Chains A and B, each alone.
Chain A
Amino acid sequence: MKKNTWVNLGFQVGALVLALLITTLILVAAGAPPLKAYLSILSGAFGSTRNVVAVLITWSPLLLTTAGVLITFAAGLWNIGMEGQMTLGAIFATGMLRLFEHAALPPALIIILGILAGILGGAIWAALAGALKTFGGVNEIFGGLGLNFVATALTIYLVFGPWKRPGVGSMSGTQPFDQALWLPTLPGTELSIWSLVISVLVIALVYLLLRGTHFGLRLKAVGKNSKAAFLMGVPTWQYSMFAFLLCGAFAGLAGGIQVMGIYHRLLPNISNGYGFLGLLVAMLINYQALWAAPIAFLFAALNTGSVQLQIIYKLDSSFAGVLQDLLVLLVLLGEGARQRFIKKN
C-alpha cells in the first residue's frame, strides 16, 4: 500500500517533469529563452494585483465549464459542444438585455432575467446535442462540434446583421449595454464578486451531487455501464439527457456572465476556448470535482500569464494551450504507464 503511493507519486511527478521538458524544448525551438519565458508567465499571472484579478476573471467561467463537463463525464458523455453552449448562453443573455434595455424595470431584475436567459440558451443548445445522440444516434462529439461551428456563425451573423452597431457592424461586437445593466464589479476592476460566488457555488454543488446523492450514484452507473444501469431500473436516456441539460445550463451561465460582467456586449468568439479548457481540466483531475478549483486556477494563471509572453517575446499566445495540452496528454500517458507498471509487478 505504502509502496503504491510512492509509485503513484513517481509517475505523476514524472509526467509533469516530462511535460515541462517538452515545452521547454518547444520554447527553445521557437527561439525564446525558456527560463525567462516561464518567469514572465509567472509575473504575468501574479506580478501585480491587476494580474491576479485578471486570473480570477478567467478562473470563474473556467470553473463553470469544468463543473458542467464533470456532470457529462460522469454520465459517460463527451460534451465537446460546450463552446457552442456557452456562445448560445451569451446570445440569449444579450437578446434578453436588448429586449428590456429600455423597459421600466429595475436593473437588478433585468440582470437576473439576462442570467436566466443565458442558462436557458446553453441548455437548449445542449439539449440539441443530447437529442441528436439519444434519438438520432449521432455521436455527441460530432453533434457537439458541428453545433459549435453553427453557434459561432450565428454570433457573427447577429453581430454583423440584426444586432450590428448603428452604422456598420464590426468584429468588436454589438453596441455596449447601458451601464446600469452591467454586473456589479469590484471598484476599479472588471472582477464581479457575483460571478465568483456563483462559480464556486456551482462547483461545490457538482461535488456534492456526484459524491453524496442518489442521483449522482445513478448518473455514474449510467456512465460506467449504461446497459446494466438500465436493467437495474435507471431510466438511462433521461439521465443522459439531464446531464446534457445541466452541463449546458452551466456553460450558458458562463456565457451570460461573460457578456454581462466582462464585455457588456456580444462578441464573436465569446466562448474563447473555455469549453475545451474545461474538458482538459476535468481530464487532468481524473474527473474528481474536489481538485477542480485549484487546477482550474492554475490553467487560468497560465492563460493570463502567457499574454505577457506574447508582448515581450512576440510569441503566439497559443503557448499556454501547448503547455496545458501537453500536461494533460502526459498525465494520461503517465497514468497508463503506472497501471501497466503495477500490473507487471
Chain B
Amino acid sequence: MELNTLLVGLAGVLAAAAPVLFAVIGETITERAGIINLSLNGTVLLAAMGGFTIAYKTGSVPLGFLAGMLIGAIVALVIAFSSITLKQSQVAVGFVLALACRDLAYFLGVPVLNQSGPRLPGWSIPVLKDIPVIGTLFFKQDLITYLSYLIIFLAWLWIFHTRPGLMLRGIGERPAAAFVRGANVNRMRYIYTIIGGAIAGLAGPAYSLSVKAGWMGTQSGLDGIGWIALSITIFGGWNPLRAAFGAYLFAFLQWLGLVLQSKLPGIPTQVLQVAPFPLMILTLLLVNISDAEWVSRMLAAMPERTRRALMKLLRALRASPPASLGVPFESE
C-alpha cells in the first residue's frame, strides 16, 4: 500500500515534468543551432493561455495543442528574423519577447480566467500498464506525457546519430566549416529555431490542458518555469538525455517540497515554491565553476590525489555551450 502511494506520487512527477521537458528539449535544439531563444518564459505562458483558450472555444483538445505549437513557432520566428536577418542582439529581443508574451498572456487571458474547460484524458497503455511497478509508474499517464518520453530519445537520436544532426551540431559549433561543407547555415538556423520554438510551445498546453488544466492568470503557477527550463538546458550540457535528467530532477524536488510542506507547517507556501531558484543558481555554479580562474589556481595548490579526484568531478559536471551560440553568421 505504502509502495503504491509512492509509485503514484512518482508517476505524478513524470507527468508534471512534461511541460519543463518540452521547453528544455525545444531550447536544446534551438541552441544547438547557435540561437538562444530567451523568450521561453513568455512563450510557455502565452502558449498555455492560447492553447487553453482554443480548446475551450472549440472543445477540441488537439487543436489546443496545435495552437500552443503555433504560438511557440511564431515567437521563435520573430527571434530568428531579428537575430539572423536583422542581426540584433538575441538576448535583447528574447528578453523583451519574454516580457511581451507574458503580459499578452495575462491581458488576453481574462475571458477564460478560472473557467473550467476540456482537458486531455488519461489513457493507460494496454498490456504495458499491467507490468508491476513500471506499469503504474510510466504507463498510466496521458498522451502528452508519453510524447514527452518519446521526444527525449527522438531529439537525442537526431542530434547525435543522424547526418542532419551532425550538420545541426556543425552550424552551432563551427558555422563557417559547415558552410564550406555546403550547409545553408542561416536557413537551417531559421528552421531549427522554429522547430525548437514549436516544441517549447507544447509546454504551454501540456500544462494548461493536462498537468493543471485551466488558465488561472498570475495564479497559474507557471510563471518562472521558462527561466528554469533555460537553466536546465545549460545544466543539461545541450544533450537531451542529461537535460531530461535535469527536468525530472527538478520535478522530483518540487514534489518533495510539496510532501515536506505538510511536515513543516511553519514555512509559508510561497517560500518553498521558490526553492527551485536557489537550486538553479547552485547547479549553474556547479557546471560552470571549473572555468573560473581561481578554481584552477586553488586546484594547482592541492595535493596530487585530491586534485585529481576533484578535477574528475568538475569535468563530469562541466557543460560547454555550442561554440557559436549567440554569434551571428556572415557567409562572406
Contacts and interface: CB of A to CB of B under 8 A. Distances in A.
Nearest to A276: B99
A316 B110 contact: yes
Chain A binding surface SS class: helix
A321 B99 contact: yes
Chain B binding surface SS class: helix
Interface in B175-197: none
B288 A137 contact: yes
B268 A335 contact: no
Interface in A142-172: 142-143, 145-147, 149-150, 152-153, 156-157, 160-161
A262 interface: no
A146 B231 CA distance: 10
B292 A136 contact: yes
Interface string A303-345: 0000000000011101101100110110011011101100000
29 contacts: A29-B108, A30-B107, A78-B91, A135-B294, A136-B289, A138-B284, A138-B288, A139-B284, A141-B95, A142-B227, A152-B270, A157-B270, A276-B99, A314-B110, A316-B107, A319-B103, A321-B100, A321-B103, A322-B104, A325-B100, A326-B100, A329-B93, A329-B96, A332-B82, A332-B88, A332-B89, A332-B93, A336-B86, A340-B86
Interface in B68-118: 78, 81-82, 85-89, 91-93, 95-97, 99-100, 102-104, 106-110
B157 interface: no
A280 interface: yes
B130 interface: no
A339 B86 contact: yes
Contact of B288 (A136, A150, A276): A136
Interface of B: 38, 78, 81-82, 85-89, 91-93, 95-97, 99-100, 102-104, 106-110, 217, 224, 227, 230-231, 234, 267-268, 270-271, 273-274, 277-278, 280-281, 284-285, 288-289, 291-292, 294
A132 interface: yes
8 tightest A-B CB contacts, nearest first: A336-B86, A137-B288, A325-B100, A321-B103, A149-B277, A153-B274, A146-B281, A146-B277
Interface size class of A (residues with CB under 8 A): 35 or more
Contacts, number: 137
A127 B302 CA distance: 28
